[in-house]
């Protein structure tokens, strides 16, 4: 069970890094005063979706 948990965490972190890269490429470095590096996966996903909807 521990290996599965680690793989899920690793996968989630990879997704998080991909979203951060996409936001940085769009010129977005922070959200509500927090750096994108400090945001959790779900907040990052929300910010990315919001910004894509604006374009």
Residue ranges covered by each domain of the chain:
2-54
Q: Which of 9, 11, 18 is nearest to 36 (CA)?
A: 18
Q: What is the DSSP string of 2-41?
A: HHHHHHHHHHHHHHHHHHHHHHHHTT--EETTEEGGGS-H
Exposure string over 7-37, b if 16+ CB within 10 A, otherwise e: eeeeeeeeebeebbebbeeeeeeebeeeebe
Query: Is residue 50 very low, low, confident or very high in pLDDT (cuts 50, 70, 90)?
Result: very high
* Structure confidence by residue, pLDDT tens digits, 13-25: 999 999 999 999 9
pTM for the predicted model, two decimal places = 0.84
């Amino acid at each position: 069970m521990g290996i599965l948990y680690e793989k899920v965490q690793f996968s989630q972190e990879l997704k998080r890094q991909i979203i951060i890269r996409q936001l940085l490429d769009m010129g977005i470095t922070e959200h509500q005063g927090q750096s994108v590096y400090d945001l959790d996966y779900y907040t990052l996903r929300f910010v990315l979706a919001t910004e894509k909807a604006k374009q």
